Every structure is written in C-alpha cells, then in structure tokens.
Structure 1
Amino acid sequence: MTRSITTDRRRATALAAGCALLTVLATTQAAGARTQGADAAAGVRQWATDARTTGAQLGAPAAVTPASGPADTTVHVDPALRFQKLTGFGASITDSSAAVLYRMDKRERDALMKQLFSPGQGNGFSMLRQPLGASDFATALYSFDDVPAGQTDFGLKHFSVAHDRAQILPLLRQAKALNPRLQIIASPWSPPGWMKTNGSMIDGKLIDDPKIYDVYARYLVKSVQAYAAAGVPVDYLTVQNEPQALLRADYPGTDLPVAQQAKVIERLGPALRAASLRTKILGFDHNWAEHPFDVKAHVDAGEDPELTYPFDLLNSRAAKWISGTAYHCYYGDPSAQTALKASFPGKDIFETECSGGGITRTIGAMNNWSRSMIFWNLALDEKHGPHTGGCTGCDGTVTVDSTDRSVRYNTNYYTLAHFSRFTRPGAVRIGASVAAPEGDTAPLQASAFTNPDGSTALVVYNPGTAARTTAVTAPGVQVTTEVAAGATVTYTWGRR
C-alpha cells in the first residue's frame, strides 16, 4: 500500500463500494428474488444479500418462487466454455488481525474461526495471504532477522519467526484444521532493514549487490521453511508487496524495480528447489495499472515508472521460475489480467489483495482469469486497527469490538461468501454472458463456476437502482428471477 494517498484511495473505494452494495445476508424475500414456471424441477436455489438487513443470518440457499412478468435481461451460462481453475477466496491474518482475534474469549474466537473457514458450517475460506514480517497492519515494526543499526547478518544467524509463534501461526494452524484445503500465499512488505539502501524497513530500496540478492533469497527460503516446520506450508510466495510504491512514510515497503525483482527470483527459484520446497513464485504483486501518484514519484526521482512491469518481468530470464502474476485491485481495470494472460497463457493470475473493492471488483477479477480473490485484513477493531501506519480507514472482513468483543460481519465477508460458500478449490470458471435491455446503463454483472462435484454456482449482481426481471438459462435450466436493486444473488444447481 502506498503511504497516505493509499488511505484516501482505499477509503474512497470502500465508501463507494459500501454505497453501491452494503452486502449483508438477507432472506430470499428481502433480496426480492422470485422465479417463474417449472423452475423448481431444475433444482435451482438461491442465496441473496442486499442493503436492507444487518447481522449474520447464515441460512442455507432457498428455493425460488415465481416472478411476475417477462424477463428484461438474460444471463446465459455455458459450461462448455471453460477458463481458469479456482484456488480460493479469503483474506489475511495480519499481525493486527491476530491481535484482535486474541482479545476474544477462546470459545468465541473458535466459533468465529469456524464461521470463517469451515466449508460445511461457514464461509469456507480456502486461501490466505500472509505478510512475512510487519506490514502497515502490525503491532510492531519487525522482520525475521533484525540486528542493531549498522550491523549485518549475511549468515542469517539471527533469523527467527518467534514473533509469529505467539498468535499468527496458531491461527493459521487452526484455519488449516478447519479447512484442510486452505492454501497460503506469503509476501514480505520489506526485507530486513540491513539489506536496504536506507537501513530501514520503511521506504528505500534493496541494495544492488549480488550478495544482497543471494541473502534475501535465502531469507525467503528460511521463512518458508520456518512456517512449514510450524505446521503451515506456504504454497505461493511473492518477493515484494507493491514493488512500485515509493514514499512510504510510516510503514514497511520497498521500491523494487523489475531488474531487481528478477535478480532475486533468479536466485530464489533454484534455492527453493534445492531445499525440496514446492512453493511456487508469483511475480509483481501490485495494481492492475500503476497509480499516477507512483508514476510521478518515479519520474520526480529520475526513474522509469515501468508501466509494463508484469510483462517485463515475464519477459526476463527469471520467468522460468515464475508460476504466475499477483495483482491488487486499488487502481486500474481487471482487464489488465486478461491482457497479460493473452501474452503469457502458461502463467496463472491471482488477486492477492483488495480492500473495499466489493462485488464488482471480485466479479471483474474472476472474469479476467484470476484464480483467487483475497481481501485484506481478516479482522480489525472498530477503529480500523491496530496498525503501524498506512490505511487508517480499512475495514476487516469482520470487526471485533475492542470493548465487548462483539462481532460485526462486514461487506467483504458477504462478498466473499457469495463465492466461497458455493465453490470449492478446483472449481472451473465457465461462460456467463449478460444480455441487457437497450439503454441499460447499469447492466447485471455475472460470473459462473462448475465445481468438481458437477454442481454449478452463478453469482449475479445488480448495480442499478431498479430491479431486473432476469432469465437465467443453462443446459437443463430455465429460471426467471427478479434481482433487486443493489442485490447480489448466488444461484446453484446440480449435484452438491
């Protein structure tokens, strides 16, 4: 995340998303979804959220009821059109999230963790992105190898994940126990300060020296090994969160140009293999497009903004070690993912961080080849913290009140639920097209998936201010349903 402007950008994004869709679980009647004809015979059910109720009403999908009138919109699902496999949906158990969760009574925390991660009794979150060391949401500024100012540790003799053993790793083990298919992406916000030009985890660059590239690669391997030894295997690894963001004033970050990221990865790939680790490397880990603030910061510093960073990285010698590209949702358009996929069809796409993006950005990411949608903090308190700096208005997936420990389920929770409750890792995105009436300035948005068991999940969002009477069609399915203004509905059919 990029210093103070990120706070404003994310607050604006979150506000816009909240105004457009404060998704909270509602009954079928509250969401205003009705169906017509012999739809019950097709076995179609629905789960809807809208902006009119609050709380965690965690009911099962409901049967649909007849609509009144002909459809003005058609959503057609085509299972013959197959795209990417899903890895999962989830958030991040940041240091701040762990601290908030550990304020709770153990029984209450266990119940919340089940609600978040259990595939059968909760949201079934199946992917987490974990900071390696401090991020802007941490209770202290730390890496896994801190030494006094002016000293170095090329032997990594001071390496330790002790900070994470108290709260973060136990929560990750618990999440993994609740959902054994849970996968972990690990990302550093900064190398240890002694590896950087300014001697600090805040701002600065990685020192341009082969010895530094080598020790940083070994540091990342030791991080993966330490997590695995603690019962938390790391499935994917990036080498730097938001490498194009300069001028961080109060939290960890590193400006890492393409050439430097490539040099790290050229050493990291062989080192992971030599250590017999199956962890895959993801490149980039930043926005769909470079934010104008970051472009200006690079230009002012006399540097190339590197507007085609992910393309350039996959065209480098490091590409042989890169499994895919990680994106964030804070600037640009998700179609950037499809452009990259078209150029490098053998490389995967992941969405690794989004806060306040809501249902529109999630559908956009899915419809542009992303295998994941990972929102930011899993849990925060009512003051959007604790944090070391950066975003002061970010919401957690849930809010845990610091006084009475009550839990509020936020927009991100319900947005993710529309996908994570009804898809499983290994599900495949299939064709979903919307035929809207002429002149519709806010057409429905849709994304569809086929699960490994043969069941289908279709997520439909109505961003408009008027209800849409909508025909949902697929082989063997013909359903006419009204989707209320601002409502999101997940339709399911087939085996489950």
Structure 2
Amino acid sequence: MPCPAIPVRPPGVYRPRLHRVLLVGLAMLLSGATALAQTRVEWVATTATASWVKQPRLGAATGPADAIVNLAQPLQTIDGFGACFNELGWTSLSGLAPVDREKIMRELFAPGVGANFTICRMPVGANDFSRDWYSYDETPGDFALKDFSVAQDEQTLIPFIENARRYNPALTLWASPWSPPTWMKLNHHYAAAEVKPEYRQMMPTLADNGLKPEQAGKEGANLFIQEDKYFAAYALYFTKFIEAYQQRGIPIGMVMPQNEFNSAQVFPSCPWTATGLARFVGYLGPQMQQRNVEVFFGTMERPNQALVDTVLRDARSSPFIKGVGFQWAGKGAIAGIHQRYPNLKLYQSEQECGDGKNDWKYCEYAWTLMKHYLSNGANAYLYWNISLQKGGVSRWGWSQNSLVTVDQAAKTYQYNYEYYLLKHVSHYVQPGARRLATSGVFTNLLAFENPNKSVVVVAHNDSSQDRTVRLTVGQQTVAPVLKAHSFNTLLLK
C-alpha cells in the first residue's frame, strides 16, 4: 500500500498554533527562571558547636514538598520579641568594660543588627532577680502615697532601659509587680512562702527570707487586703509608677496586675484569686485608660482557662482587659483561650528559666516552648533574664539561664545557646508580621510573612542525622540540608 502523500509547507508559510505553543512554553520557562533569580534566600544555621553560621546559596529543588508554607493563610499578628529588664541584669553588665557592655546592648536592641528586640518587660518594684526586696512606698498606711519614690530604680532599671532605648527609641515596654508594698498584704511580708527544709534539699543555695509559717499565703486565696481603700491606693501606686517613668522619658504601654497570681513563693510574690484581681482591675482600669496604658490579665501560670474566663466575664474588669499573659504551666491554657477569644491579644510573658547551666539540651527544650506558644496564637514572645553573672544565682538563691553570661572576675562575656535560638526568630521577624499556616510531613518549623512581604521560615532538625527538607513557599521550592540538631532560619525575599 503506497504511503499517503506528506503535505509540503510552501515557502513563507508557518504553523501558527505550534509557533504560539513554543513561544508560550519558552516564556513560561524564562519567567520561572526570572522568578527564581529574583527570590533571594538567606540561610543561617546554629548547632551546639557553631552558632549563627551563614549557609550556601540555595537553588531550585524538585520533587514532592516535605513542608508547604501557605501564603494565602495568614494567622496572628506578631507584636515582637524581647526579654525582661531585671536589676541583676544591669549589675552583671556593669561589671564589664563600657565598650563591651555597649556591644551587647547594640547587639540586643539596635534595629536590624542582632536580636532586634522590640518589646520588653520590667518589674514594678522588686522581683526575684532584684538586688534585694524593695517597693516604691513602704510607709504603713500611706494611702495617699506621699512617700512614693522610684529612687531605687534610678540605680539600675532606669539606666538599663535608657541604654536600650538609645539603640531603639521605639522599644515597647510593659510592667507587672511581683509583690505590692508589704503593708497592703495580709502577712505584711514581701514573700508568700517560708523556706522549708525540703526546699533546701532541692536547692542548697536558697536564702532564708524570714517568713514565719503563719504568714504563708496559698493558691486560691487573696493575700492582698480586699478592701476598697487598699484597692484605690494600689491603683494609685500603678499610676504614680507610670507617671514617674513618663517624667524620665520612658513610656510604659501596658501593665499586668500581678506576676504568677496563683503562686506563693519564697521571693517577692502575692497570691490572688481571679475574682480578687477582677475587683482590683475595676480600680486599676480607669486610671490606666486615662493614661493610654493597656491592662492585660496575668501573668497566668496555671493551665486553668476558667481563671481567664472569670476576669473576662466580670463586669468590673472586662471593659479594661485587652489581652492575657501566659507563662510556665499557663502554656496549657493558651490554645483554648485563643480558640474561644480569637481577637484577644496573647503574650508569652516569661520563658521558663532553666537551671543556670545554659546547655544545648535546654535550648532545644526552649524551642518546643517557642513553637508551642507561637503555634497557639501568641502575639509576642518574651525571654526572662537578659544577662546574669556566671552561675546565674538570684538574690534568693535560684540559679537560672540568661541570654548573656558575664564573668566579672575575668571581665569577659558570652552569648548563650538560647540567645541564638531567640535571634533565629527575632532578627528576621518584624513587628506586624503574620504567622503563616504550614502543612506537610515535616512539622518542626514556624513560618511568618513580614510587612515587606519577605517570608521567614525557622526550622529545627532534632534528629541525630542530617536531613534534607524540601520546602515550598508560594511557587518556589528549595531543599536545604539541615544539620543534625540544628536551628535554621531561611529568609526568602
């Protein structure tokens, strides 16, 4: 059978459909290459032996994604990251040469340099990392607070904060007391628990506080005197604190009425019931509102959501509560509160403090805390101690971790593992960023989109082997090899 005739294209005649297909395909390939070229990926990694190491440039990857960042599903807005200004933080840094102290402060607070801290906490009066107990008015019965003074803070907290604000004048501050003045408490003592023998067995360095057994407070009971004149005086105490700092050029944007209000501690502390705090907020709220200072409920250190419900539903306090702070076991309540009050601001107000060893194991645990809080709606994440002397021992004998350890004898310092972990997030995630939803088989990560549309992905490889993770962000896929037990940040511009 003869072959059919093959049509011959006359000179000058072309096949328009085929030509268009080829042009479109070529354009798609070129546009994809252009998009990849325009997407710059910055990648840094930290392991136990090498911190903040810049990694090689990543090229495009193929194959199914292990993790997908969903740009179309933005979640909560991030207010920022930071830590707490404590007296022992300043005294430790003051033991260094001024040039070294300034290097640390610049690294922590200067925008775009290091940790890029934008929001920090401070105590109202003494806390457990103060030099000793003090309040702003220890004159019994001084309901008009004629003897109110922040003179103690002029030696430590005020210069600490002023130094930080020189590097970042826009630094946001919030504050909470650990204890009211002693004359406002039923036990007339700064602490709420005696130092029992079993405590000393666990912590031999624990200092005696002089509290007698009959003075001890307890969870579920108010140690603050529940009388109107005391509530009014304590609201005035907050007001004078806000005004005293304002006069020194330091604005306080938010307060929480009590640190860990369920906990009777051997250091400055004061248990309250949620109802007692709701009653006090009824006095505190109007005073703060007049001064454009927000009131959050907290800090919540129990996994009991009903405590938050009590204050949010009480007519005396509900008009004034703009958010809630969670720490320690309070991590068990944040998910439920976020689900039921999706528009409520939520802060992780104090990262768990460790044991003063500042080791890699605790750093990896700290990542699980950070991931838990931010995955469950936290708008801000606060570390605890900025700086401590070697050993990290408080005035009351508790050794804790810090971002920076100072050896005052040798006049040297070092950044600890948890500093670099926090920097992996805070250096790149800008205030106003949105956390992004993720999916896939690799889940040990957090993702954010900054206001400038850059995307930040922070990933932890907690295994003992290097692992390749194919990561898809929008139309781009990259495949970084995450070193064993490493933290990694990828910035896609």
Alignment equivalent of 2:158, drawn from 169, 183, 200: 169
Instruction: Assess if the C-alpha contact under 8 Å between 1:40 and 1:63 holds in 2.
Output: no
SS at the partner of 1:284?
Answer: strand
Q: 1:106 to 1:257 in 2, by over 3 A?
A: same
Q: 1:434 to 1:230 in 2, by over 3 A?
A: farther
- The residue aligned with 1:83 is 75
> 2:228 & 2:331 partners in 1: Cα distance?
36
Q: 1:434 to 1:229 in 2, by over 3 A?
A: farther
Write the deviation string for residues 298-341 of structure 1: whole angstroms up to 9, x where unpaired. xxxxxxxxx6211222121211100100000x22645x323102
- Percent identity over the alignment is 28
The one-letter code matched in structure 1 to 2:312 is L
Instruction: Assess if the C-alpha contact under 8 Å between 1:93 and 1:379 holds in 2.
Output: no
SS at the partner of 2:350?
Answer: strand
- The residue aligned with 1:136 is 128
- The residue aligned with 1:273 is 289
> 1:474 & 1:217 partners in 2: Cα distance?
49
> 2:302 & 2:467 partners in 1: Cα distance?
31
Q: 1:158 to 1:212 in 2, by over 3 A?
A: same
> 1:432 & 1:287 partners in 2: Cα distance?
29
- The residue aligned with 2:381 is 373
> 2:448 & 2:62 partners in 1: Cα distance?
26
The one-letter code matched in structure 2 to 1:426 is G
- The residue aligned with 2:318 is 319
Write the deviation string for residues 457-484 of structure 1: whole angstroms up to 9, x where unpaired. 1111122223321111011321012212
CA drift of 1:70 comes to: 7.9
SS at the partner of 1:319?
Answer: coil
TM-score, normalising length: structure 1: 0.80
- The residue aligned with 2:6 is none
The one-letter code matched in structure 1 to 2:143 is F
Instruction: Assess if the C-alpha contact under 8 Å between 2:288 and 2:295 holds in 1.
Output: no
- The residue aligned with 1:222 is 240
Greater displacement, 341-350 / 71-80:
71-80
CA drift of 1:405 comes to: 2.3
* 2:339 is the counterpart of 1:345: no
> 1:414 & 1:100 partners in 2: Cα distance?
20
Instruction: Assess if the C-alpha contact under 8 Å between 2:448 and 2:455 holds in 1.
Output: yes
Which one has more relative contact order, counting CA pairs under 8 Å at least 6 apart? 1
SS at the partner of 1:262?
Answer: helix
SS at the partner of 2:469?
Answer: strand
Instruction: Assess if the C-alpha contact under 8 Å between 1:351 and 1:373 holds in 2.
Output: yes
- The residue aligned with 1:105 is 97
* 2:212 is the counterpart of 1:212: no
Q: 1:171 to 1:240 in 2, by over 3 A?
A: same
SS at the partner of 2:161?
Answer: helix
> 1:450 & 1:435 partners in 2: Cα distance?
21
Between structure 1 and structure 2, the one with the greater Rg is 2
Instruction: Assess if the C-alpha contact under 8 Å between 1:236 and 1:279 holds in 2.
Output: yes
SS at the partner of 1:145?
Answer: coil
Q: 1:220 to 1:265 in 2, by over 3 A?
A: same
TM-score, normalising length: structure 2: 0.81
* 2:192 is the counterpart of 1:197: no
> 2:307 & 2:408 partners in 1: Cα distance?
41
> 2:343 & 2:406 partners in 1: Cα distance?
41
Q: 1:70 to 1:287 in 2, by over 3 A?
A: farther
Alignment equivalent of 2:263, drawn from 237, 245, 251: 245
* 2:366 is the counterpart of 1:358: yes
- The residue aligned with 1:232 is 250
Instruction: Assess if the C-alpha contact under 8 Å between 2:259 and 2:269 holds in 1.
Output: yes
Unaligned runs of 5+ in 1: 1-37, 291-306, 437-443
> 1:227 & 1:487 partners in 2: Cα distance?
41
> 1:464 & 1:254 partners in 2: Cα distance?
42
> 2:226 & 2:112 partners in 1: Cα distance?
49
Write the deviation string for residues 23-62 of structure 1: whole angstroms up to 9, x where unpaired. xxxxxxxxxxxxxxx96663222111111236xx6x6x54
- The residue aligned with 1:480 is 479
The one-letter code matched in structure 1 to 2:458 is V
SS at the partner of 1:122?
Answer: coil
- The residue aligned with 1:264 is 280
> 2:298 & 2:309 partners in 1: Cα distance?
9
Instruction: Assess if the C-alpha contact under 8 Å between 1:137 and 1:388 holds in 2.
Output: yes
Instruction: Assess if the C-alpha contact under 8 Å between 2:432 and 2:450 holds in 1.
Output: yes
- The residue aligned with 2:399 is 393
CA drift of 1:487 comes to: 0.8
Aligned residues between the structures:
418
> 2:301 & 2:159 partners in 1: Cα distance?
31
Instruction: Assess if the C-alpha contact under 8 Å between 1:89 and 1:373 holds in 2.
Output: yes
- The residue aligned with 1:64 is 57
- The residue aligned with 2:11 is none
Unaligned runs of 5+ in 2: 1-34, 193-216, 218-222, 355-364
SS at the partner of 1:186?
Answer: strand
Instruction: Assess if the C-alpha contact under 8 Å between 2:65 and 2:472 holds in 1.
Output: no
CA drift of 1:142 comes to: 0.4
* 2:49 is the counterpart of 1:52: yes
Instruction: Assess if the C-alpha contact under 8 Å between 2:300 and 2:324 holds in 1.
Output: no
> 2:71 & 2:233 partners in 1: Cα distance?
48
- The residue aligned with 1:19 is none
> 2:455 & 2:386 partners in 1: Cα distance?
27
Instruction: Assess if the C-alpha contact under 8 Å between 1:284 and 1:309 holds in 2.
Output: no
RMSD: 2.1
SS at the partner of 2:146?
Answer: coil
CA drift of 1:244 comes to: 0.6
SS at the partner of 1:142?
Answer: coil
* 2:391 is the counterpart of 1:383: yes
